[in-house]
């Protein structure tokens, strides 16, 4: 059992009538890369700011390695934050920014020098040590903010959408670097983001938040493959949501079709409403009468018509109108297509199928 | 090209105004500062450097130094009073901030001379404050408040503090609040964060406020004339006397030139610093 870095115990934050964070309970392990994921206004940043000490919980406790800290002011907490705007000190050079925390802690000069040099090495900025903050690019500013926090060797590093201001390519690169740095230093990271892809690719565990509550907490695969409710399924990637009624023997009636749903819990009785979801990339599309190419044996199949098609580069996103009513979105990888003119036509009749085990039951 | 030339004509009225009403009188004063006084007490153009020698002789030098001293004291007091006020309005004013700013600015629509007379009514030996002190039995005789250096400096602080508060308000309001949080997050106590983060982040406003208060304070003559006495004579009073009471225009002109030179040096230093600060932000 891993050691616990943070325990958030029944924490609620109210601003007057408004409940920003509503009875959140989380345990974060030492050395973990933990993400708080959700749309804006879901309470993820408020939760992070309570961990930093900028906000005091209205109710509940926050334990940092077992010590209650919810009323400790930020400058007395051994946690550091990477701000969304980076919040660099413009009047200082890169070194001055990174050394700021160590100086306030009255660290000996020689030690400050070596630790600042090491931190700059870690983020690959040794050559810009004497530059003013204003002379740096966005990516470099982001690294300074990271080095400035990490140099203090905090118990927990808090990151508030640190990559939000960077362009897509730089963001991808920094995601990989951040993850590498986290492995190297072994410090617990608590990462706030609204970007589900970012959270899935970097985190050890994710807590999905909505309206101040944690709706699901688990490993990325678990959250993606087994979303607990419609909100999670919809927020983490696109999902096809199908409303149906339980039929018994692991089958659900949707429109005119009876779908096999092996995951259906046994406490659903015949006639109970059931909501199921299928990920677009699990949906195979093929020409009718060509069943052995992409539609594999054991798949559940229905017929439909291609309603619209969006070219995504890595593949096509097809919206399909089912013969039995309802719509499905399918994501088709470009690897299936050999020639560029080998394209689907809007209005074409197709057969659609998926493996029954890819049907997710939402509570 | 033609369009460019066309727009140049819009500068003409302003240029004419500056030339006729500012540059030309300044040149006349400059020329007069080398002149002398004739038998009837009129200024006559000529060439002698003696007026400039007189500025720095032992009679007048203390007046110059006193002016600079009063202006420095005024500047520091304005900063000490103005910073908390500007900080409070910018950070905690909320929806009242423009009302609070207006409340500060509106008194300055009243003429400076009139406002200074109000202080005379308050601080005079038979003034409101002294009457209250005597009536309350705090002192048997009126406390001398008028005709002291502090009355003059007080008048200057009151007269110019708005020029400190407004630039400070601007820079505090523009400051990224997360920078202050970063200071606290990096183990800075509230005081350390203020010294090491907030003050450097608002230094442009501090600098602008100090210059805007210092420069007019050095040349001020109203406060010293109404609230001061012979011992609080400032260079502004000296210049005024040369042009009116003493009727020595050439000497007054020389004093004016020296003071303008002194103030210009500060102004240039400030502008260079401000330009550098702007370059850093970009």
Inform me whether the C-beta atom of residue B201 falls under 8 Å from chain A C-beta atoms. yes
Identify from A56, A86, A104, A144 which residue to disrupt to test chain B contact, counting B C-beta atoms within 10 A and taking the largest count.
A104
Inform me whether the C-beta atom of residue B188 falls under 8 Å from chain A C-beta atoms. yes
Give the per-residue SS3 of A258-277. EEECCCCCCCCCCCCEEEEE
Q: Give the H/E segment covering residue A328.
A: strand A327-333
| Closest residue to B179, CB basis, from A80, A81, A89 | A89
Confidence of residue B281 (pLDDT cuts 50, 70, 90): very low
Is pLDDT above 60 for B279?
Answer: no
In a domain, B101, yes or no: yes
The per-residue pLDDT for range B63-93, each reduced to its tens digit, is 999 999 999 999 999 999 999 999 999 999 8
pLDDT of residue A211: 95
pLDDT of residue A249: 76
Q: Are A360 and A277 in contact (CB under 8 A)?
A: yes
Confidence of residue A25 (pLDDT cuts 50, 70, 90): very high
Contact (CB<8Å) B187/A101: yes
Confidence of residue A233 (pLDDT cuts 50, 70, 90): confident
Closest by CA position to A237, among listed A253, A254, A220, A252: A220
Contact (CB<8Å) B176/A85: yes
Confidence of residue A245 (pLDDT cuts 50, 70, 90): confident
Strands (E), A280-314: 284-287, 300-311
List, in order, residues 6 or more apart from A315 with CB less than 8 Å away.
A331, A332, A333, A334
pLDDT of residue A275: 85
Chain B residues with CB-CB distance to A82 below 8 A: none
Is pLDDT above 50 for A361?
Answer: yes
pLDDT of residue A356: 86
Closest by CA position to A162, among listed A233, A220, A254, A81: A81
Q: Give the H/E segment covering residue B156.
A: helix B149-174
Strand partners, B44: B36
List, in order, residues 6 or more apart from A156 with CB less than 8 Å away.
A5, A6, A28, A51, A64, A79, A187, A188, A189, A190
| Percent of chain B whose pLDDT exceeds 70 | 97
Inform me whether the C-beta atom of residue B278 falls under 8 Å from chain A C-beta atoms. no
In total, the C-beta contacts within 8 angstroms joining chain A to chain B are 77
SS3 A255: coil
Q: How are beta strands A315-322 and A273-278 bridged, if at all? A: unpaired
Q: If you average pLDDT over residues A108-133, what whole number do you get?
A: 94
CA dist list (Å): A298 to A229, A292, B65, B153 = 27, 11, 99, 94
**Token code pair at residue B129:** 């404050």
Contact (CB<8Å) A87/B176: yes
The domain total for chain B is: 1
Q: Give the integer Cα–Cα distance in Å for A10 and B67.
A: 65
In a domain, B23, yes or no: no
Confidence of residue B273 (pLDDT cuts 50, 70, 90): confident
In a domain, B61, yes or no: yes
Confidence of residue B139 (pLDDT cuts 50, 70, 90): confident
Is pLDDT above 80 for A163?
Answer: yes
In a domain, B258, yes or no: yes
Q: Are A74 and B184 in contact (CB under 8 A)?
A: yes
| Closest residue to A74, CB basis, from B178, B184, B201 | B184
Closest by CA position to A223, among listed A200, A243, A197, A201: A200
Is pLDDT above 50 for B282?
Answer: no
The per-residue pLDDT for range B14-31, each reduced to its tens digit, is 999 999 999 999 999 999
- For residue B194, the 8-state DSSP code is I
In a domain, B52, yes or no: no
Q: Give the integer Cα–Cα distance in Å for A226 and A214.
A: 16
Contact (CB<8Å) B201/A89: yes
Inform me whether the C-beta atom of residue B8 falls under 8 Å from chain A C-beta atoms. no
- For residue A132, the 8-state DSSP code is B
Residue B95 belongs to a domain with what CATH number?
A: 1.10.3720.10
Contact (CB<8Å) B179/A52: no
Q: Looking at the predicted complex, does its ipTM rise above 0.90? A: no
Distance from CA of B253 to the nearest CA of A (A): 43
Q: If you average pLDDT over residues B211-217, what whole number do you get?
A: 95
- Measured between CA atoms, the residue of chain A closest to residue B280 is A134
| Percent of chain B whose pLDDT exceeds 90 | 70
Domain encompassing residue B71: 57-281
Confidence of residue A339 (pLDDT cuts 50, 70, 90): low
Inform me whether the C-beta atom of residue B179 falls under 8 Å from chain A C-beta atoms. yes
Region of residue A325 (phi > 0: left; psi between -120 and 50: alpha; otherwise: beta) = left
| Percent of chain A whose pLDDT exceeds 90 | 57
Best-predicted range by mean pLDDT (A78-82, A310-314, B109-113): A78-82
SS3 B24: helix
Q: Give the integer Cα–Cα distance in Å for A327 and A321.
A: 5
């Amino acid at each position: 059992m891993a050691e616990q870095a943070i325990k958030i115990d029944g924490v609620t934050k109210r601003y007057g009538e408004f409940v920003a964070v509503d009875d959140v309970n989380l345990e974060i392990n030492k050395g973990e890369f933990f993400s708080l994921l959700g749309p804006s206004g879901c309470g993820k940043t408020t939760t992070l700011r309570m961990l930093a000490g900028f906000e005091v919980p209205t109710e509940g406790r926050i334990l940092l390695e077992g010590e209650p800290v919810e009323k400790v002011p930020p400058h007395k907490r051994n946690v550091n934050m990477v701000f969304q705007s980076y919040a660099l000190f413009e009047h200082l050079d890169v070194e001055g920014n990174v050394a700021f925390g160590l100086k306030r802690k009255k660290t000996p000069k020689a030690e400050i020098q070596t630790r600042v040099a090491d931190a700059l090495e870690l983020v690959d900025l040794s050559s810009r040590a004497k530059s003013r903050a204003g002379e740096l690019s966005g990516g470099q500013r982001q690294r300074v903010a990271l080095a400035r926090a990490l140099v203090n060797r905090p118990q927990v590093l808090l990151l508030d959408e640190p990559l939000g201001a960077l362009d897509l390519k730089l963001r991808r690169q920094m995601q990989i670097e951040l993850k590498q740095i986290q492995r190297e230093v072994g410090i617990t990271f608590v990462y706030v983001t609204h970007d589900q892809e970012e959270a899935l690719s970097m985190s050890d565990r994710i807590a999905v938040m909505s309206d101040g509550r944690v709706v699901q907490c688990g490993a990325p695969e678990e959250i993606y493959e087994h979303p607990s409710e419609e909100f999670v399924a919809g927020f983490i990637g696109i999902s096809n949501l199908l409303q149906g009624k339980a039929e018994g023997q692991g089958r659900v009636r949707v429109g005119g079709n009876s779908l096999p749903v092996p995951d259906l819990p046994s406490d659903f009785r015949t006639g109970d409403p059931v909501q199921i979801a299928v990920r677009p990339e699990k949906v195979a599309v093929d020409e009718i009468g060509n069943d052995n190419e992409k539609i594999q044996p054991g798949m559940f199949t229905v017929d439909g018509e291609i309603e619209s098609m969006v070219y995504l580069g890595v593949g096509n996103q097809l919206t399909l109108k089912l013969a039995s009513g309802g719509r499905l979105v399918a994501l088709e990888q470009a690897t299936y297509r050999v020639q560029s003119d080998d394209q689907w036509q809007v209005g074409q009749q197709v057969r659609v199928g998926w493996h029954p085990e890819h049907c997710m039951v939402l509570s | 090209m033609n369009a460019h030339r066309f727009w140049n004509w819009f500068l003409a009225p302003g240029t004419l105004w500056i030339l006729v009403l500012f540059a030309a009188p300044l040149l006349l004063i400059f020329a007069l500062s080398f002149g002398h006084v004739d038998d009837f007490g009129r200024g006559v153009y000529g060439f002698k450097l003696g007026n400039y020698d007189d500025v720095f002789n032992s009679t007048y030098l203390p007046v110059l130094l006193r002016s600079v001293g009063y202006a420095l004291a005024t500047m520091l007091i304005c900063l000490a009073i103005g910073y908390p006020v500007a900080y409070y309005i910018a950070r905690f004013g909320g929806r009242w901030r423009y009302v609070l700013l207006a409340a500060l600015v509106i008194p300055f629509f009243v003429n400076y001379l009139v406002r200074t007379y109000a202080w005379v009514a308050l601080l005079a030996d038979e003034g409101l404050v002294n009457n209250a002190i005597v009536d309350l039995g705090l002192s048997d005789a009126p406390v001398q408040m008028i005709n002291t250096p502090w009355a003059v400096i007080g008048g200057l602080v009151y007269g110019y503090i708005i020029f400190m508060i407004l630039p400070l308000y601007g820079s505090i309001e523009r400051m990224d609040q997360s920078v202050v949080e970063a200071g606290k997050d990096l183990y800075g106590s509230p005081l350390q964060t203020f010294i090491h983060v907030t003050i450097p982040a608002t230094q442009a406003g501090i600098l602008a406020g100090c210059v805007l208060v210092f420069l007019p304070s050095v040349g001020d003559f109203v406060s010293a004339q109404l609230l001061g006495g012979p011992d609080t004579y400032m260079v502004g009073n000296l210049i005024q006397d040369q042009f009116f009471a003493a009727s020595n225009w050439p000497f007054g002109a020389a004093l004016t030139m020296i003071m303008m030179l002194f103030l210009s040096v500060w102004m240039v230093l400030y502008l260079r610093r401000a330009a550098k600060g702007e370059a850093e932000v970009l």
